[in-house]
């Protein structure tokens, strides 16, 4: 099974610059937007087994969940963060669909 990634280094460079800055300036509130943007770009530039994929998730769809996971992580002094990471990965995977 052949896999290809066609994304350019320029976009990766820009993600590495603006994503952390945006998250810091927004006090973390832009994290769902940044995550969705990066995952969408990865899916748009990837093929696995000759098939293309599309990320259908939205920042709005993630935001409410993300706030709850973030607050639970704070309340539990970081213990819930392990489940939070798992839930974020699960949400991303559930929002990827095959195009072809």
Q: What is the distance between the alpha carbons of residues 95 and 56, in angstroms, rounded to a whole number? A: 5
Give CA 68 to chain center in angstroms. 17
> How high is the pLDDT of residue 100?
72
Q: At what angle do helices 31-44 and 81-94 cross, to 10 degrees?
A: 40
Between strands 46-48 and 51-55, the pairing is antiparallel
What's the predicted TM-score (pTM) here?
0.88
Measure the CA angle with vertex 46, ends 60 and 97; round to 5°: 50
> pLDDT digit string (tens) for 19-54?
999 999 999 899 999 999 999 999 999 999 999 999
**DSSP letter at 62?**
H
Chain mean pLDDT for the chain = 94
Contact 62, 28 (CB under 8 A): no
């Amino acid at each position: 099974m052949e896999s290809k990634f066609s994304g350019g280094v320029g976009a990766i460079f820009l993600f590495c610059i603006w994503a952390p800055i945006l998250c810091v300036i927004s006090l973390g509130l832009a994290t769902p937007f940044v995550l969705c943007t990066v995952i969408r770009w990865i899916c748009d530039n990837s093929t696995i087994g000759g098939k293309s994929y599309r990320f259908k998730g939205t920042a709005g769809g993630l935001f409410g969940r993300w706030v709850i996971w973030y607050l639970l992580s704070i309340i539990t002094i970081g213990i819930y963060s392990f489940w939070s990471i798992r839930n974020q990965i699960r949400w991303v995977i559930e929002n990827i669909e095959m195009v072809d």
